[in-house]
Amino acid sequence: MSAPVLEVRDLTTVLNLAQGPVEVVRGVSLDVGAGETVGLVGESGCGKTMAMLSVMGLHPQPPAEIVAGEVIVGGRDIRKLSEEERRMVRGAQVAMVYQDPMTSLNPLMRIGDQIGEVLVAHGRSADEARNRTVEILGQVGIPQPRRAAESYPHEYSGGMRQRAMIAMALALHPQVLIADEPTTALDVTIQQQIITLVTDLQQAMGMAVIWVTHDLGVVARVAERILVMYGGHIVERGPTDQVFRDPEHPYTAGLLESIPRVRGAERHPLRQIPGAPPDPTHQPTGCPFHPRCPNAVEKCVSEMPPLTERGGADHAEHWAACWVPPEEWVA
């Protein structure tokens, strides 16, 4: 892996609720190399979005608060920067595309103005901003970009709005793009277009992308490495093909078995993981997955397993947090 453009160390975010602080992101660490694609997967409610918002400094305050950890961009821990310096990182070095393009654009502003605003906020002149806006709108595949810049969000479909959001995020050539389930709110056919668009632009611009998704199919296609999140923890990480072939965490294994396979030798009845991710206000003790885990042993109830490197020559950079090795799994 090349030198990381984004490093997150032991990031912990809590929600300060009436009953006290509740940890929703628990000691998350990750590295993203230049131009690399990383998939961050897990069911809804596992803390993926909150982790990414915390990286951006966009976690809703209050009630959310980052209580520990470092977010290192370009060699600097942005948590230690002044608000003004942090502002210059957001949108310029690290940018984000959000889940719902229908609500993520300001309904009262022209699309062009909303994109131009990013450029002006980061020191470009009004003229430069105008030209770059039309250029980037063309690059994300919006027809008649000059006219599009004059349009309001309500004149656009969901897919077109997400393209505009991507244009907005990429206007300043960020080194890292965080794509937080950018296709969830879109039609299936449009989903494919958006995925292809982002991967094409990634190749053209050379930025790193963190794909946040619960769709393992997408991750398999685009991501070189995968991070699996559960109950606020990263429970497994490694190269995508390895994790898919030999999952080292029962949660990952469960997710993989929940993918419908309708053809070929891998065909099997669709399975699902019983239960739902824990409510952060009622986190189980020990490993957060143990109440749903078929392989849980006594230790799982009392102690959270650390993320440890898995052995084997073909398991390079493959880490998982589980007390029970796959050989001893019952299912």
Partner 1 sequence: MRLYLVRRLTGSLVTLIGVAVLVFLLLRVLPGDEITARFGIESGSLTPAQRESLERYYGLDQPLVVQFFTWLGSVLTGNFGISVTSGSSVARLIGRALPVTIELAVLSTLIGAVLGVSVGVMAASNPNGFRDGAGQTFGLLGLGIPNFVIASAIIAFLAQRFGYFPAAASYVDFWEDPLINLQQQLYPALTLGVALAAATMRTTRSAFIEAASQDFVRTARGKGLSARRVKWRHVLGNSLTPIVTIVGIQFGYLLGGTIIVEEIFALPGMGRLVLTGISQREYAVVQSSVLVIAALFVVVNLLVDLAYARIDPRVRLT
Q: Does 82 bind partner 1 (CB under 8 A)?
A: no
Least separation in angstroms between CB 44 and partner 1: 17
Q: Does 87 bind partner 1 (CB under 8 A)?
A: yes
Strands in 76-77's sheet, in edge-to-edge order, are 20-33, 4-17, 64-73, 76-77
Q: Binding pattern to partner 1, positions 90-109, x when CB under 8 A? A: xxx--xx-x-x--xxxxxxx
Which residue in the set 80, 146, 154, 299 belongs to the binding site for partner 1 (CB under 8 A)? 154
Least separation in angstroms between CB 72 and partner 1: 18
Query: From residue 122, how far is each of 74, 114, 145 by CA, in Å?
Result: 17, 13, 22
Least separation in angstroms between CB 48 and partner 1: 16
- Which window, 23-31, 83-91, 189-197, 228-236, contacts partner 1 (CB under 8 A)? 83-91
Q: Binding pattern to partner 1, positions 41-80, x when CB under 8 A? A: ------------x--x-x-x--------------------
Q: Which CB atom, from 78 or from 273, has the smaller least distance to partner 1?
A: 78
Task: Tell me which long-range contacts 14-20 makes (C-beta under 8 A, separation of at least 24).
Answer: 14/64, 14/65, 14/67, 15/63, 15/64, 15/65, 15/280, 16/62, 16/63, 16/64, 16/65, 17/63, 17/281, 19/281
For residues 40 and 225, what is the distance between their CA atoms, to the nearest angstrom? 9
Helices vs. strands in the chain: H and E counts, helices first: 11, 12
Q: Does 152 bind partner 1 (CB under 8 A)?
A: yes
Q: Is 247 within 8 Å of 236 (Cβ atoms)?
A: yes
Q: Which CB atom, from 100 or from 257, has the smaller least distance to partner 1?
A: 100
Q: Does 122 bind partner 1 (CB under 8 A)?
A: yes
- Which window, 16-24, 81-89, 203-211, 256-264, contacts partner 1 (CB under 8 A)? 81-89
Least separation in angstroms between CB 177 and partner 1: 11
Q: Which CB atom, from 122 or from 214, has the smaller least distance to partner 1?
A: 122
Residue 61's SS3 state is coil
Q: Does 164 bind partner 1 (CB under 8 A)?
A: no
Least separation in angstroms between CB 87 and partner 1: 5
DSSP, res 47: S
The full DSSP string for 269-299 is -----SS-PPPGGGPPSSSTTGGG-TT--HH
Q: Which CB atom, from 140 or from 235, has the smaller least distance to partner 1?
A: 140
Query: From residue 54, how far is each of 10, 12, 15, 98 by CA, in Å?
Result: 12, 9, 12, 14
Q: Which CB atom, from 42 or from 91, has the smaller least distance to partner 1?
A: 91
Which residue in the set 30, 38, 118, 134 belongs to the binding site for partner 1 (CB under 8 A)? 118
- Which window, 26-34, 85-93, 230-238, 292-300, contacts partner 1 (CB under 8 A)? 85-93
- Measure the CA angle with vertex 207, ends 201 and 212; round to 5°: 85
Cα torsion angle, 139, 142, 145, 150, sign = negative
Cα torsion angle, 30, 194, 98, 135, sign = positive
Q: Which CB atom, from 83 or from 266, has the smaller least distance to partner 1?
A: 83
Chain positions contacting partner 1, by CB under 8 A: 53, 56, 58, 60, 83, 87-92, 95-96, 98, 100, 103-109, 117-118, 121-122, 152, 154, 165, 168
